[in-house]
Structure 1
Amino acid sequence: MRQGWLLFLAIVALGTAIAVFVWAGWWWPAILAAFGGGWLVATSRVMPSSHMRSRLAELERELAVAQQEAAVAAKAKSAFLAHVSHELHSPLMTILGYSELLLEDVQNGTAQTDQTITWLQRIYDSGKQLLELIDNMIVLARLEVGDIEVYHDRWSLGLLLDELEKTILPLAQQRHNRFAIDLEVDPAIIIEGDRAKIRQILLQLLHNATKFTQDGTITLRVSLKSSTEGSALLNLTVSDSGIGMSDDQLDLLFEPFTRFDEVLTPRYDGVGIGLALAQRLCLAIGGSIAVTSQPGKGTTFFVSIPVTPVSVSTSVER
């Protein structure tokens, strides 16, 4: 708009100058004014203003950033597809392999009870692994679009912790780790909150701790702090003495499909959605999550979730 006004004023000034020179009989100045004015008008059209030059430079910088982000996203997508393919392929091959062996034994009449039970257990475990991966990806996708419901059922804190211990302890022992639960609250207390999501948050954090800790210690600390009237904060701390993370890694920790162990991929399985899922579940139920870590010294996650403590004598909805 500003350039249009400048162009208009330049044309008016040019016309006025030529008219004055012609009226006065000064033809040579009139000719010079015409050529000079033409050059002025032409250059005013093609030479950008300082504001335009700044805006063009800004757009170029934004384009460069967008191209860099697109390249990073493309690389992450390729890595994700590779990891997912591996995570799906392994249990599927286990299921197909043992199913084929069972089918042959049944057809040949050579099936043995103990061996059959072992093979069926491996098929079952692989099926559970596949189902867990698919479920996690579905839940993460729903969380990304805000399509998630929050439930307020009543449950025993002690029973939930017992269930977690039975699940995590064998995994910790496989890597020669010690697993401990440090309680600062009565385990018999009944809590009202979203049990399924709290359980999944803890499972993701504890699985992560067992995966990256060898010959160390994994600790789950649980406390309950009163906040407003009738409600409280369920504080959960998951700490390990594992490999830890750098500050740069912490900045990307909760990004989906992010893995920091590309060189060590055969050693650490997973597609990189566990911590992203834990963070989004925590936020979905009104909680918060933070993390501290040092390379070689371990990692600690701090989770706070609003819940409602209920009298122990109150019936529990299952």
Structure 2
Amino acid sequence: MSGNTLGKLFCVTNYGESHGPAIGAVIDGCPPGLELSAEDIQFELDRRRPGTSRHVTQRREPDEVEILSGLYEGRTTGTPISLLIRNTDARSKDYGNLLDTFRPGHADYTYWKKFENRDPRGGGRSSARLTAPTVAAGAIAKKWLREQYGVLIRGYMSQLGPIRIPFQTWDSVADNPFYAPNPGIVPELEAYMDELRKEGDSIGARIEVVAENVPAGLGEPLYDRLDADIAHAMMGLNAVKGVSIGAGFESITQKGSEHGDAIYADGFGSNHAGGVLGGISSGQDVTVSLAIKPTSSIRTMRPSITRSGEAIEVQTLGRHDPCVGIRATPIAEALLAIVLMDHALRQRAQCGLTR
């Protein structure tokens, strides 16, 4: 009922608050024998870490992960893996005026309605700060999938606000703060974000995630379909307002003769299905697209109410991403990895080795 755990066999339970002493995750169900170190996880955390460019929040968190359990002599033991990430740069005073005020676009109002008690500091439990443990858990899933099946999971930004980013090369994705697959467009993206920050406003983005070498047969019909679980996980990512698999909403205008992926002796002719047919992986690349809404924390004054129902104007101060989509790529990769590993373990348990 609590909603803090993702997965059935590879279970990731996320805990902590944005301005609490620490955040983290407990991973249950990781098979024994996987060689693992803090460095394996830290690499992915550094990709998500705040304060890495002028275009993201300037909160300075090292995000150093501590592995508290589940390892012996550098290998997983099959017991729960506990990961801890300490909060070191919280500025709770920035949120002192929000205990009785609801910020438009935030979860302040709904958390209060549900729990009648909420942590207003940095968004508390609803903060994007809680994506760090997800990335840490995803690093483990990524490594296991890579070693077991050769699965490669990577993502990129395909649109920043009104600016579409044509895919050119994977090589440039790691070399710019936007995860843009087109180095020539980066100066335009930087200029757009600089102007947006001056305005005190925010913008959304579109993120693409691709998993290559996914074995066929992953997914459980009817209600545990692979694509349904992917969408469920991705909608758990802060600020995601839309998820599509394969052609997604473009399927509306496609004729059946175009959308249906023809099958030949040497494989499929196209991949409009996004690597999933009938909720089960086809062996093609699994492709996922995410719509990320504009950051709700902006300096622009907006109407809202207090807990007593009085009208008020709200301005959100503090350190925030003017586009949360800029740091969303590693998180989306992690979520896809967690879902794929969970389904791989379920397939192995039910049907043996995946064909």
- Over alpha carbons, which structure has the higher Rg? 1
Q: What is the TM-score with the length of structure 2 in the denominator? A: 0.23
Q: Which has the higher contact order (CA 8 A, sep 6+)?
A: 2
User: More helix per residue: 1 or 2?
Assistant: 1
Which structure is higher in strand share? 2
Q: Normalising by structure 1, what TM-score?
A: 0.25
